[in-house]
Amino acid sequence: MAPKKKATKGAKEPEVKKKKGGKKDPNMANKPMETALSEENREFYHIQIRDLEDRLARYQRKWDELAVQEKLFRQEFEQLANNKKEIVAFLKRTLNQRVDEITDLNEQLQSLQLAKEMEKDAFEAQLAQVRHEFQETKDQLTTENIILGGKLAALEEFRLQKEELTDKFASLEDQLRKQESEYKDYVYNLEKKSVLDKDRLRKEIIQRVNLVATEFRKVATNQMWDTTKRAIIENNTVTLQLSKISRQGMQLLQENEQLKGTQDKLCKQLDLLENTQKVMARHSRGHHKIILMLTEKCLEHQRGTVETEQLRLQLSQLEQSLGQLQQDNQALRSQRDQLNLQLERQQAKAQRQQQELTKEQKVRASLETALAQATVFLQDILQMQPDEEDGDFDVVFQLQLKEMLQQLLTMLSTATLLSPQPAVWPRRESQPHGPRKESQPSTQPPKMGSLPQQLSSITPYQPGDLGVVPRRAHIPPNPEDLRLLSHTTRVGTLQAHSCPEIHTSGSPKRFKKFSLPEVSLLSK
């Protein structure tokens, strides 16, 4: 705005000189300057209004974005609430299922414990009975075993005796066979010898008889008596030999009868031994059956002990599974507590976001009311016209306008300070000579984040940006502007710049309607 001001001032210099030299009517000289100033002020106000409208549009866009974000946050919150409800329902179902499973397992465990106790009592009673029976059978079997050991020792002795007797009997049979064969040979030889002897004797007798007959014929007459005597003697010797041979045959027959009697006795003893052996074999088979029955009972007892051990292992496994289920139940309870804590945190976060949203809505409403009041105030300022009767009062009018604009600026600055800081828009550096260009907003959409972070990142306009810029506290007067004014006007201008308050001498009633409205803004 400074270059335009200088240009208008350069055009007004000849008119001011004419005014000084000729001292014409001051109203006629101030009209073109007032029109130029009013046009500049209108342009300035139009620019301010456009800037405010742009800001309002930006705020509207930000409001739409925040509304969309709030809608998305609300949808996410509803989705999280639904997810929480589903998770809680699922966890409740799983917890109920686990509780039912635990109750079922507890009932099964109790029933198994009762069954185990009953089976344990039954098995203990059965085991005691089996032990008693086993002890009785063991004692009985030990006694029988001792008896059988004695009998077995007797049988072993009997077997040894039997073997000895069988050996003796075999040797005696062999001896008997040998004796029989020898006796037969001897009898045969004796019979043969007797036959041969008889034949020989008969032949000899015949020969001797013949010889004797011949000799008898020869010596019949001489030695009849001697020959008969010798024949009788020889006959006696032969009869004696025959009697001896018959006695020996009788002895052999008696010995044969004795051997047959001993053989019959040995056969009877062998039959008795075979009968006793058969009886002992029957007894041994019975004892073997008893031993097999006892071994089967012992195996059944061992199987029962193995089954009891298996039941104990199953019981220990069930106890371990019960402990694991209890641990799982504790883990599920802790997980449920964690989910409840997360749900409470999310609910607290949602409440905080809702409170921040209500605060932002209130701030936005206050900003909209402030902008509406500022636009009304600017429209009133634009509609204000200086009074033609006042003459040289236009400078004071301009100063009052500037003061009112300063008040408007303070109102807007307080509104921007109380409101969340706007986002910093990138701008170009202004040239040393020439109008400043409006900074182009970034085309990138703002990043989605939390609402307080986005609002806290907003900063007010910097000096040099296009818009309502706060003026400095003490602005030195321009000497070119002071040359255009009279002495009284210069003094009034300097007093107006030096004093914060403006003392007007004429028409104070016109400015009563331009009193600033009260702006009710909510502090953060």
Q: How far apart are the first and last CA of the chain?
A: 35
Average pLDDT over residues 493-520: 41
pLDDT band (50, 70, 90) for residue 224: low
The pLDDT value recorded for residue 440 is: 39
pLDDT beyond 50 at 430: no
Angle, vertex CA 350, rays to CA 344 and CA 355, nearest 5: 125
More confident call, 275 vs 504: 275
Residue type at 187?
A: V
Instruction: Report the alpha-carbon distance of residue 51 to residue 195 in Å, rounded.
Output: 184
Residues contacting 331, CB < 8 A, separation 6+: none
Q: Which of 107-121, 199-213, 317-331 has the lowest mean pLDDT?
A: 199-213
Residue 461 scores a pLDDT above 60: no
SS3 string, 488-524, reads HHHHHHHHHHHCCCCCCCCCHHHHHHHCCCCCCCCCC
Distances (CA, A) of 430 to 203, 403, 424: 194, 27, 17
Average confidence (pLDDT) over 357-369: 86
Query: What's the token pair of residue 20?
Result: 């000084």
The sign of the dihedral angle between the CA atoms of 408, 411, 414, 418 is: negative
The predicted pLDDT at position 33 comes to 63
* Beta carbons within 8 Å of 325's beta carbon, 6+ residues apart: 98, 101, 102, 105
Per-residue pLDDT band for 17 (boundaries 50, 70, 90) equals very low
Pick from 80-94, 198-212, 504-518: least confident: 504-518
The arithmetic mean of pLDDT across residues 263-291, rounded, is: 85
Highest mean pLDDT among 32-36, 67-71, 165-169, 283-287: 67-71
Tell me how far apart the alpha carbons of residues 384 and 368 are, in angstroms, rounded to a whole number. Answer: 24
Least confident among 5-9, 60-64, 382-386: 5-9
- Amino acid 264: pLDDT: 87
Nearest to residue 468, comparing CAs of 421, 406, 514, 420?
A: 406
More confident residue, 477 or 524: 477
Number of H helices, E strands in the chain: 7, 0
The share of the chain scoring above pLDDT 70, in percent, equals 68
What are phi and psi for residue 197, nearest 5 degrees? -65, -40
Classify burial at 397, counting beta carbons within 10 Å of its beta carbon; exposed 0-12, middle 13-18, buried 19 or more.
Answer: buried
Q: Phi/psi of residue 252, each to 5°?
A: -65, -35
pLDDT band (50, 70, 90) for residue 27: low
Q: Which residues pair with 422 in a beta bridge?
A: 458
Cα 203 to the center of its chain, rounded Å: 133
Determine contact, residues 510/385, Cβ cutoff 8 Å: no
Please answer whether residues 117 and 326 qualify as being in contact, where contact means their C-beta atoms are separated by less than 8 angstroms: no
CA 478 to chain centre: 84
Burial of 5 (0-12, 13-18, 19+ CB in 10 A): middle
The pLDDT tens digits for 36-55 are 667 888 888 888 888 888 98
Q: Which residue has the higher pLDDT, 384 or 425?
A: 384
Q: Is the pLDDT of residue 256 over 50?
A: yes
Structure tokens that stand for 271 in this block:
């039959």
Q: Which residues contact 212 (CB under 8 A, 6 or more apart)?
A: 227, 231
Six token digits for residue 499: 């004093």
Does this model's pTM top 0.75? My answer is no
Whether residue 107 has pLDDT greater than 60: yes
Q: What distance in Å separates the CA atoms of residue 152 and residue 159, rounded to the nearest whole number?
A: 10
Q: Which pLDDT score, from 0 to 100, does residue 261 have? A: 86
Residue 394 pLDDT: 63
By residue count, the chain amounts to 524
Worst-scoring range by mean pLDDT, 152-166, 233-247, 316-330, 489-503? 489-503
Q: Over 70: is that where the pLDDT of 177 sits?
A: yes
Tell me, what amino acid is at 336? R
What are 180-184's contacts with CB under 8 Å, separation 24+? 180/256, 180/259, 183/252, 183/255, 183/256
The rounded mean pLDDT for the chain is 71
The pLDDT value given to residue 316: 85
Lowest mean pLDDT: which of 252-266, 403-417, 449-463? 449-463
Q: What is the pLDDT at residue 420?
A: 55
**What single string gives the DSSP state of each residue in 442-464?**
PSSPPPP--HHHHHHTB-PPPTT
pLDDT digits (tens, 9 = 90+) for 378-422: 877 777 766 665 554 567 777 777 777 777 777 777 776 765 554
State residue 510's pLDDT score: 41
Task: List the one residue out of 418, 360, 421 whose CA is nearest residue 70.
Answer: 360
At 429, is the pLDDT very low, low, confident or very high (cuts 50, 70, 90)? very low
Instruction: Please report the pLDDT score of residue 5 as a whole number.
Output: 41
Mean pLDDT within 178-191: 78
- Which of 1-10, 190-199, 453-462, 495-504 reaches the highest mean pLDDT? 190-199
* Residues 493 and 482: beta-carbon distance below 8 Å: yes
Residue 56 and residue 412: Cα distance in Å, rounded?
Answer: 13
